[in-house]
């Protein structure tokens, strides 16, 4: 007992000490009677039990300025006090209450305190603000867990926003998100198009601890705007929106079956095609690489008609007075559906000349009376019949020659006999044409405007070519050498562009002979050029603003886009027509030049975008008849193929028109269009013109010169230059005819010459060019001449017809009606060159589209659009959507398309077509649409607004 009581004394002494300390801190101490072991046991209904916490304080966060409450419950407990950061909380700050547990009858004490934001902010310790509960019973004290109190917040800016991305179909999408710093740590969720994203989707792996969103297999429906949302008890923050585009790269469909061969007999071409629809490119996906069309040559076996072989020898004369012979249809045998031989295979003949008896027996020796007399009658009758036959033959030949002479045609080539001439009904008189030479007016070679490409730049000066009264003074008389009745060949100098007011100096050399005073036959298979002939050339200095370069009167131009040359950089660029290449031939096939060979440079030219070059050609463009290729000169006479204009390519772009070809090129060099005919329907255009001049060696003579030249402006300039040097006059508007690849020659004949007033040497009224001369003329003019002589000076008018025809082909008629009296007032040039020497323009004046509008259009259509309104639709509306893979490889597809449009359209009203196309796309609002057609002086004004 002593030890127990002593123990009790020690225990109660410690409790007394604790209570004394609590009293010093303002903590209520229960009365002594209640503190005794008996009193405590009576009060709490149980003895020997330490306080057990039913509710302990929990961690809390102060939101804004709102205080938080900390609670404690314990049983049995005499007192419960809070201790925060190692210090007792004053009793006045405690809120306590008691109640009895109905199940056990024990007293339960509950205590609560408030913690303010200021208290937490004023605490500066090595750890967070904390509080715990201390409960007393008669056996001792118990402590609760520490509860921390922190001030809650969430910063505004994300540590890492998700970034937009483009992924292919079935690819993986990974979007990174690091939420803002906050207390407590923010929770993250993802939104797609402002709707909560379902993490349970099969394709979504989910968000990891680092809050990244991972979609393992992207679908088209995965495209959208994704947002990362971070939130805690304080606030909710949204990240920047990340746009995800799931694109589909284009894929080729299967090749179609080969088309039938386009010819029924011989060498032709067949095609097969495929489309970029398996799948079609979507959402900016790459266009299919490769060609959409494949061509292949094909050879269709031609039917062979049967032909008879040689007759066999006659059989011996039989008893029936007949003999026989046979032949077989084996030379050749009919094959591949060819026709059988016409005629009979068996021939029978009376082998006695009809001298058979009635019983079919031969008469050898016996002769009845009167046989000798009948033989004499037969002899004389045969002689008479022969004489009559000869007379009829002579009369028929005479009538035939006379009928032929009425047309003035004497065919001197055997090939012409097979073709013959058709009869034509010509008018004997014609209406006066102010474009042609007559007794009071001189012609202008350039009046007939067939070519759509510009000869000169359009500016404020009147650009109409002036019709003058005569041509340049001819060169000194040309002397000929040789023997009689030989053709005369002429060497003509090329034209050259001169500054205003200066006349060119033309020189020519002639080799040949005359045919006498009464007539000449001037047939020039191919006109040669002197070695020192100057080239057609244009040069200019271009800078960042770009510009246009033109070789006047040739249909050839070069457009340097705005921005193609770097800033603070200039290039001296040039274009030239290379005459030496125009006469090249190809030994490996029937390929010919269809355009002049054009060079642009300098070789080291460095541009950021392709230039647009325009070249005139002479092909009758049909893909079934021609294979036309763009080639580049590499060395000597070697040319390499750049592309076929009917196929797709990423190296350059070719747009074929009826008379021009527009090309987008990236590398300077020498280029030309060359064509290979695929069948006999392939044709090229020839320009036909007739000129006339007095014979300087014969006052009564007059010479007609007929030219056949490839139908390009440059080639016709060759003719114009030669006629300037001779003092020639244009007698009829030039005409165009088609010359086909059928191996037939070209015949030129003069008809309806007044025989009572004029004479022409016999057998010279029809002349002929071989097929190869015309087909491979390669931009060089072909000339033939007819020399006429009037009987007296009083005959001052000449009327006749010139027929130019391809045997079994097309024909053109040139009607000549002119005065042969020489104009003594002097000569003027064919063209008024005063406004044709402008070879370049730089800056905005060279373009239809102002640079600011061009940049806006390019920026609009180069950007992928969900509605499909991109550069591909622009190409479709501007009708240049054949070779889209080329534009797809450009840095700015829209800029390349607009450069091609600039090269195509050069008339003042053409901006309307561009505005209409943009309005159809829905990218243009035009409050001042009228400014589109105001001309170059108002180009700085805006004509549209690109939406």
Residue with tokens 């087909």: 775
Write the pLDDT tens digit of every residue in 258-317.
999 888 787 888 899 999 999 999 888 888 988 888 888 888 888 888 999 999 988 888
pLDDT mean over 126-152: 90
- Per the prediction, the chain carries an average pLDDT of 75
Per-residue confidence (pLDDT) for residue 152, from 0 to 100: 92
DSSP type of residue 889 = T
CA 583, CA 598: separation in Å to the nearest integer?
Answer: 14
CA 331, CA 99: separation in Å to the nearest integer?
Answer: 135
Write the pLDDT tens digit of every residue in 708-766.
999 998 888 888 888 888 888 899 899 999 999 888 899 999 999 998 889 987 777 89
Tell me the two tokens of residue 272: 């097969």
Report yes or no: 657 and 713 within 8 Å, Cβ to Cβ: no
Write the pLDDT tens digit of every residue in 228-241.
999 998 899 999 99
pLDDT above 80: residue 506? no
Report yes or no: 815 and 430 within 8 Å, Cβ to Cβ: yes
3-state SS string for 2-42: HHHHHHHHHHHHHHHHHHHHHHHCCCCCCCHHHHCHHHHHH
Angle between helices 893-904 and 851-862 (to 10 degrees): 130
C-alpha dist (Å) from residue 708 to 437, 689, 746, 778: 20, 7, 10, 12
* Residue 627 φ then ψ, to 5°: -115, 105
Report yes or no: 671 and 652 within 8 Å, Cβ to Cβ: no
pLDDT mean over 873-880: 88
pLDDT above 50: residue 806? yes
Per-residue confidence (pLDDT) for residue 735, from 0 to 100: 93
DSSP letter string, 192-219: ETTEE--TTSTTEEEE-TT--EEESS--
Tell me the two tokens of residue 175: 């979007």
DSSP letter string, 579-637: GGGGG---TTSS-EESS--EEEE-TT---SS-EEEEEE--B---TTTEEEEEEEEEETT
Which of 425, 406, 426, 409 minimizes the C-alpha distance to 417? 409
Range from 27-36, 514-523, 681-690 carrying the lowest mean pLDDT: 514-523
C-alpha dist (Å) from residue 319 to 352, 357, 526, 720, 763: 11, 11, 70, 82, 59
In this predicted model, which residue has the larger pLDDT, 462 or 805?
805
Write the pLDDT tens digit of every residue in 474-500.
323 333 333 333 333 333 333 333 333
pLDDT above 90: residue 664? yes
Those residues with Cβ within 8 angstroms of residue 224's Cβ, 6 or more apart along the chain or in another chain: 192, 193, 243, 244
Assign residue 482 a region (left: φ > 0; alpha: ψ between -120 and 50; beta: otherwise).
left
CA 41, CA 572: separation in Å to the nearest integer?
Answer: 115
Which SS3 state, helix, strand or coil, does residue 799 take? strand
Those residues with Cβ within 8 angstroms of residue 745's Cβ, 6 or more apart along the chain or in another chain: 413, 415, 416, 768, 769, 770, 771, 774, 806, 807
pLDDT bin (cut points 50, 70, 90) of residue 401 is: low
Q: Count the Cβ atoms, other than its own, within 10 Å of residue 64.
A: 9
Question: For residue 897, what is the enclosing H or E element?
Answer: helix 893-904
The rounded radius of gyration (Å) of the Cα atoms in the chain is 53
């Amino acid at each position: 007992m002593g030890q127990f009581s002593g123990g009790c004394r020690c225990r109660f002494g410690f409790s007394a000490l604790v209570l004394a300390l609590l009293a010093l801190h303002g903590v209520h101490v229960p009365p002594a009677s209640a503190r005794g072991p008996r009193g405590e046991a009576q009060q709490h209904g149980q003895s020997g039990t330490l306080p057990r916490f039913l509710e302990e304080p929990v961690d809390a966060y102060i939101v804004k300025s709102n205080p938080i409450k900390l609670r404690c419950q314990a049983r049995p407990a005499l007192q419960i006090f809070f201790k925060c950061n190692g210090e007792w909380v004053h009793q006045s700050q405690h809120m306590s209450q008691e109640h009895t547990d109905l199940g056990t009858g024990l007293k339960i004490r509950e205590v609560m305190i408030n913690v303010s934001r200021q208290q937490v902010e004023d605490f500066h310790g090595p750890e967070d603000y904390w509080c715990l509960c201390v409960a007393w019973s008669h056996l001792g004290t118990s402590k609760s867990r520490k509860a921390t109190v922190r001030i809650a917040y969430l910063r505004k800016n994300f540590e890492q926003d998700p970034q937009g991305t483009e992924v292919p179909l079935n690819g993986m999408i990974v979007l990174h998100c690091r939420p803002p710093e906050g207390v407590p740590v923010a929770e993250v969720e993802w939104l797609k198009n402002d709707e909560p994203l379902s993490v349970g989707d099969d394709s979504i792996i989910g968000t990891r601890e680092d809050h990244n969103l991972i979609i393992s297999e992207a679908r088209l429906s995965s495209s959208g705007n994704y947002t990362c949302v971070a939130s805690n008890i304080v606030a909710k923050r949204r990240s920047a929106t990340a746009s995800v585009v799931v694109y589909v790269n284009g894929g080729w469909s299967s090749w179609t079956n080969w088309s039938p061969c386009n010819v029924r007999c011989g060498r032709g071409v067949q095609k097969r095609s495929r489309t970029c629809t398996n799948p079609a490119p979507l959402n900016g996906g790459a266009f299919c690489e490769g060609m959409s069309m494949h061509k292949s040559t094909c050879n269709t076996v031609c039917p062979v008609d049967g032909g008879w072989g040689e007759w066999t020898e006659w059989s011996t004369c039989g008893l029936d007075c007949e003999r026989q012979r046979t032949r077989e249809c084996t030379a050749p045998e009919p094959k591949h559906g060819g026709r059988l031989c016409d005629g009979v295979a068996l021939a029978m003949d009376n082998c006695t000349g009809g001298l058979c008896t009635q019983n079919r027996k031969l008469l050898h020796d016996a002769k009845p009376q009167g046989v000798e007399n009948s033989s004499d009658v037969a002899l004389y009758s045969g002689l008479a019949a022969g004489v009559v036959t000869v007379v009829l033959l002579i009369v028929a030949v005479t009538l035939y020659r006379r009928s032929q002479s009425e047309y003035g045609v004497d065919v001197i080539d055997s090939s012409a006999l097979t073709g013959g001439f058709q009869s034509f009904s010509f008018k004997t008189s014609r209406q006066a044409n102010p474009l042609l030479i007559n007794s009071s007016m001189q012609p202008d070679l350039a009046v007939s405007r067939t070519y759509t490409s510009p000869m000169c730049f359009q500016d404020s000066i009147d650009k109409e070519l002036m019709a003058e009264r005569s041509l340049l003074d001819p060169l000194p008389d040309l002397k000929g050498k040789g023997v009689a009745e030989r053709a005369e060949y002429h060497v003509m100098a090329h034209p050259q562009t001169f500054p205003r007011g200066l006349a060119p100096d033309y020189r020519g050399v002639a080799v040949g002979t005359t045919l006498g005073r009464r007539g000449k036959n001037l047939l020039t298979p191919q006109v040669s050029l002197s070695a020192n002939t100057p080239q057609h050339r244009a040069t200019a200095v271009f800078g960042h603003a770009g510009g246009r370069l033109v070789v006047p009167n040739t249909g050839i131009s070069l457009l340097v886009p705005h921005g193609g040359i770097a800033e603070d950089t200039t290039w001296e660029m040039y274009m030239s027509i290379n005459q030496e290449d125009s006469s090249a031939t190809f030994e490996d096939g029937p390929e010919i030049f269809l355009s002049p060979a054009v060079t642009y440079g300098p070789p080291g030219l460095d541009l950021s975008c392709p230039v647009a070059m325009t070249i005139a050609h002479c092909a009758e463009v049909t893909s079934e008849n021609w294979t036309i290729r763009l080639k580049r000169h590499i060395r000597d006479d070697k040319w390499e193929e750049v592309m076929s204009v009917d196929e797709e390519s990423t190296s350059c772009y070719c747009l074929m028109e009826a008379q021009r070809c527009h090309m987008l090129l990236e590398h300077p060099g020498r280029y030309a269009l060359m064509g290979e005919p695929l069948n006999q329907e392939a044709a090229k255009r020839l320009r036909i013109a007739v000129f006339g001049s007095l014979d300087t060696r014969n006052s009564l003579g007059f010479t007609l010169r007929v030219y056949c030249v490839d139908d390009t402006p440059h080639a016709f300039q060759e003719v114009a230059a030669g006629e300037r040097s001779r003092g020639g006059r244009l007698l009829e508007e030039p005409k165009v005819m088609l010359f086909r690849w059928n191996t037939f020659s070209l015949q030129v004949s003069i008809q309806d010459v007044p025989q009572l007033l004029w004479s022409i040497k016999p057998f010279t009224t029809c002349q002929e060019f071989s097929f190869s001369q015309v087909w491979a003329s390669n931009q060089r003019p072909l000339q033939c001449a007819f020399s006429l002589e009037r009987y007296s000076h009083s005959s001052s008018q000449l009327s006749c017809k010139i027929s130019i025809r391809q045997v079994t082909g097309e024909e053109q008629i040139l009607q000549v009606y002119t005065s042969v009296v020489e104009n003594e007032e002097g000569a003027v040039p064919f063209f008024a060159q005063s406004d044709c020497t402008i070879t370049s323009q730089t800056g905005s004046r060279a373009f239809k589209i102002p640079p600011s509008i061009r940049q806006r259009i390019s920026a609009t259509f180069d950007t992928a659009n969900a509605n499909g309104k991109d550069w591909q639709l622009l190409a479709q509306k501007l009708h240049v959507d054949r070779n889209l893979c080329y534009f797809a490889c450009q840095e700015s597809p829209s800029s390349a398309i607009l450069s091609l449009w600039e090269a195509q359209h050069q008339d003042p009203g053409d901006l309307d077509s561009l505005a209409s196309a943009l309005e159809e796309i829905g990218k243009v609002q035009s409050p001042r649409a009228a400014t589109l057609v105001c001309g170059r002086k108002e180009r700085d004004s805006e004509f549209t607004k690109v939406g």
